[in-house]
Structure 1
Amino acid sequence: MVFFEVENSPWIAEMKVANQVHPNHSDSLFDGKKHYVACFKDVKFESVCRSMSEVTLSSEEVVALVVGQLEELETEAR
């Protein structure tokens, strides 16, 4: 795996502009956010967050994490 931090991320800038349609928007909501890219053999994962830490997960824990996130997306879509 190769891991990068994107400095002066255009993605964060785009997120800030897109969020301006909301009445409670504030540019400060994006203060301290960082853009990370993790490149695996066949997959690229990108994330925007304020903090991050490295952890080791078993296959079962990864599956449970993904299933939980998918369930959240399904609930939000309803």
Structure 2
Amino acid sequence: MKKLYDYATECITELGNLVGKMRKKGEDIGLTESQTKKVWVTAFDVLAKKQKISRQIMSQNLSKKTSPPENV
């Protein structure tokens, strides 16, 4: 049985991915630039904590696989 933390991690990660995809397509996501950045930072923090690495390393690892949306 998954723990609440695991569900929260999946949710924030999916939210970060969804925001990125919508931004890339130029869709209005109803978030300001600042709010969008907070979503990405939170997703990075959650994933980095789970993998026990720093946000900078997490950012470098993710940027190799995918780039964040423009203007973020």
TM-score range (shorter-chain normalised) is: 0.3 to 0.5
TM-score (structure 1 length as normaliser)? 0.32
* Larger relative contact order, structure 1 or 2 (CA cutoff 8 Å, min sep 6): 2
Look at both structures and tell me which one has the larger radius of gyration over its CA atoms: 1
TM-score (structure 2 length as normaliser)? 0.34
Bigger share in helix = 2
